[in-house]
A and B are shown apart, each in its own frame.
Chain A
Amino acid sequence: MTTEAIHDSHEHDDHHDHKMTGIKRWLYTTNHKDIGTLYLWFAFIMLLVGGALAMGIRAELFQPGLQFMEPDFFNQLTTVHGLIMVFGAIMPAFTGFANWMIPMMIGAPDMALPRMNNWSFWILPFAFSILLASFFMESGAPNFGWTFYAPLSTTYSNGSTAFFVFAVHIMGISSIMGAINVIVTIMNMRAPGMTYMKMPLFVWTFFITAYLLIAVMPVLAGVVTMLLTDTYFGTSFFDAAGGGDPVMFQHIFWFFGHPEVYIMILPAFGIVSTIIPAFARKRLFGYSSMVYATASIAFLSFIVWAHHMFTTGMPLFGELFFMYCTMLIAVPTGVKVFNWVATMWRGSMTFEIPMLFSIAFVILFTIGGFSGLMLALTPVDFQYHDTYFVVAHFHYVLVTGSLFSIYAGAYYWLPKWTGHMYHDGLSKAHFWCSLISVNILFFPMHFLGLAGMPRRIPDYALQFADFNKWVSIGGFAFGLSQLIFLVVVIKCIKGGKKAEAKPWDGAEGLEWTVASPAPYHTFETPPNAEDIKGQ
């Protein structure tokens, strides 16, 4: 990070202070590029931490029987792994992209509320320190799963629940402030001529994501607050003896939780929709249908939450309503996949690393989408519920979906961020090792789940032993492959082939009109976006 400070001090305007050096630059910064960098590094560190926890899980599951840990510690690992990957890795990574790219893509000088932007970031490391510190407390870390269902998180929770609750509150505050900043930036700071329907698709998808965030993160705050009062102040929101209902927890949680999973995939759609046209050298097929599909998915996300709860004994009408609404989501998602494929159709394609990750995204995310469709069917969900099939499903959409798009975007914009091209051989190794190992890791989980292996269990029946062995081997290989990415990024920051202002000949957008690396302040006077072609 410090080396980056050396080579981005071009164009300075007189009324801006020169940026400080050392730690104060990062602590006090109001610059969207600095804050974006902080978000991205934080997300990557959290990815490695969460990955280390996952390796603990896979080590335990390598063989049947209890090998290395008590079941309670295993539960702590699955819980904190989930929380860290969702709130610490994927979401901050996308927010990092948003910070870096949205002002440059719409021709704004910075985010609309730069000081609040700094605050949104810097509360995150504190929140995760609290969460991780609970591993070292007497009672251990939270052990009730990342979904913290009552009464596991109330009556039967361990002593660190309050720390979990307040850590989640801080994460929520961070997300809400970040989302407000993005919305205000996009509504208020677009360069003249940058109309809504000319905005790059990543801006559109994150715009819609930000609405999802401010709509549902407060609901998460509400549900953890009820959990806190149930556990510590004797209320009975989730206790039938007092007139409440543990299933009510699931309703409120998933009213947050389902939009949350789209919060983690919509920006991925935006990144992939930016990259595929650049390397297919064609305009994006169906720009406006992409925008409307994104908005439809966001709308539908609010009326499908109970498909996570088919087995809780809902009234039949509820089961049917949520099943049909869920299956409707396949329509706008299908529009998107069709458009990506149609964009590639007869394009003059080249296969640079961002494109490889994007194509892998389209195929593997679609697999995750199809298994989602299977899970949406109420009758068969009674079989799949809480099995490894579910684990396979959401890892296909979150790892080969969200995470692969993050890698695609990182390789695509690394030249703009650092001013250097990434190392070709190492990045290819990163892609191919990840691609192969991730499928060894997650594909057999489908079969384990269909055969009935439950999730969140440290031990399993003997017939699952072979598949679990392969899953664990895939897991370790995938985890280690991510270290290659770390090397690629560090090499890219330190040096490498000089990147041109626009290293990809098919790329479009305002971010490629400024030098590489991007100057510390860009577009202090708005560029003229009138002549940007409408999509």
Chain B
Amino acid sequence: MTTKKYETYYVPAQSHWPIVGAVALFLIAVGAANYVTDIKNSTSGSGGYVLIAGIAMVIYMMFGWFNNVITESMSGKYSHQMDNSFRQGMSWFIFSEVMFFAAFFGALLYARTLSVPWLAGADNNAMTGAVLWPEFTAQWPLLKTPDGTETTGMGWYGLPLINTILLLTSSVTAHLAHVALEQDKRPQLKFWLGLTCVLGLVFLYCQGLEYAHGYADEMQLYLTSGIYGNTFYMLTGFHGMHVTLGTIMLIVMLIRVFKGHFTPKNHFAFQAASWYWHFVDVVWVFLFVFVYII
């Protein structure tokens, strides 16, 4: 508290990046909404192009906005207090991401422990089973839905296990990179950070292979394969999107390291990317346990 008296908090002058970002989000929303509507109605429209324009605009905004922030930071405008603001902001953002995943985990657990047994007549739902779907038996993974869609369960050994090892290792390497940065050992920093990026990319490749297996004729595990396929693809899919984002963040950090950015004391962006990486790793551990193993 006492230090605050002597530091000035940097309040940036006006910025046009937020309004660029607002228009970009608008284009994404309108584009995506038109796009999915066209898919559903089997019509053709320009929604996809609007969506791509919006995404391009967001990327443009991020380059511009972060460029401003980095320039300000490297010219020494940021105080210790500012650094705290960024750190706290990032940690609460990650908390909000945790809650987003919690919604999908909640759906998974609700379906497994409540709605699927109920559909087969558990508790006071005997008539549901008897009247609606007398053939239906409860099981998890739900390989045969009440309306008769059949599918195959994804095992935990093989690719998912390899992916678990990859991600857990990458969390360790990300930490080692952070330690190297704090000790100002730049070669080690480059090595461990580079390795983390590679592990992330290999993870994504394996995830792609796994999806290809799922969609192949032997497994017939589709997004539309009832509640098991729904939760499987939505959870691993959103996780995969977060890994993609995390990998991009780490690659950007690697480029900045090669450019000579960051000091042992001042490296918020690196830390944020690393926190984010640990977060996707923890989510994966929960996924591995609740989606694959149990």
* A303 interface residue per 8 A CB criterion: no
The one of B9, B11, B22 in contact with A126, judged by C-beta atoms closer than 8 angstroms, is B22
A30 near B29 with CB under 8 A, answer no
Closest to B98 in A: A218
Docked complex: A234-251 residues within 8 A CB-CB of B:
234-237, 240-245, 247-248, 251
Assembled-state Cα–Cα distance A225/B104 (Å) = 10
Q: How far apart are B42's CB and chain A's nearest CB, in angstroms?
A: 12
Supposing A218-B99, A240-B132 touch, asked if A315 and B124 sit within 8 A by C-beta, the answer is: yes
Supposing A115-B18, A242-B146, A526-B5 touch, asked if A235 and B33 sit within 8 A by C-beta, the answer is: no
A123 contacts which chain B residues (CB < 8 A)? 21-22, 25-26
* B217 interface residue per 8 A CB criterion: no
Docked complex: B146-171 residues within 8 A CB-CB of A:
146-147, 149
A126 contacts which chain B residues (CB < 8 A)? 22-23, 25-26, 29
B9 near A108 with CB under 8 A, answer yes
Binds A, one of B206-214, B224-232, B262-270: B224-232
B147 contacts which chain A residues (CB < 8 A)? 241-242
Docked complex: B122-148 residues within 8 A CB-CB of A:
123-124, 132, 142, 145-147
Closest to B118 in A: A245
B289 contacts which chain A residues (CB < 8 A)? none
A313 contacts which chain B residues (CB < 8 A)? 124
Interface of A: prevailing SS: helix
Number of interface residues of A (CB under 8 A): 84
A236 contacts which chain B residues (CB < 8 A)? 145, 224, 226-227, 230
A28 near B89 with CB under 8 A, answer no
B228 near A251 with CB under 8 A, answer no
B57-78: CB near A (< 8 Å → 1, else 0) gives 0000000010000000000000
B145 near A118 with CB under 8 A, answer no
A189 near B33 with CB under 8 A, answer no
* A112 interface residue per 8 A CB criterion: yes
B89 near A184 with CB under 8 A, answer yes
B17 near A115 with CB under 8 A, answer yes
B100 near A218 with CB under 8 A, answer yes
The one of A118, A187, A248 in contact with B111, judged by C-beta atoms closer than 8 angstroms, is A248
Assembled-state Cα–Cα distance A315/B25 (Å) = 42
Supposing A243-B119, A244-B115, A525-B8 touch, asked if A228 and B226 sit within 8 A by C-beta, the answer is: no
Q: How far apart are A42's CB and chain B's nearest CB, in angstroms?
A: 13
Closest to A223 in B: B103
B88 near A187 with CB under 8 A, answer yes
Supposing A118-B15, A183-B88, A184-B89 touch, asked if A233 and B99 sit within 8 A by C-beta, the answer is: no
B96 near A218 with CB under 8 A, answer yes
Supposing A20-B14, A222-B103 touch, asked if A233 and B224 sit within 8 A by C-beta, the answer is: yes
* B44 interface residue per 8 A CB criterion: no
B104-123: CB near A (< 8 Å → 1, else 0) gives 10110011001110110001
B2 near A192 with CB under 8 A, answer yes
Q: How far apart are B220's CB and chain A's nearest CB, in angstroms?
A: 14
Supposing A109-B11, A525-B8 touch, asked if A219 and B100 sit within 8 A by C-beta, the answer is: yes
Q: Which residues of B contact A (CB under 8 A)?
A: 1-2, 4-5, 8-9, 11-19, 21-23, 25-26, 28-30, 32-34, 36-37, 39-41, 65, 81, 84-86, 88-89, 92-93, 95-100, 102-104, 106-107, 110-111, 114-116, 118-119, 123-124, 132, 142, 145-147, 149, 223-224, 226-230, 234
14 CB-based A-B contacts, threshold 8 Å: A25-B14, A110-B9, A165-B33, A217-B99, A236-B226, A241-B146, A243-B119, A243-B228, A244-B227, A248-B110, A251-B106, A255-B106, A315-B123, A524-B8
5 A-B pairs with the lowest CB-CB distances in the bound complex, closest first: A222-B103, A245-B115, A243-B227, A166-B29, A119-B18
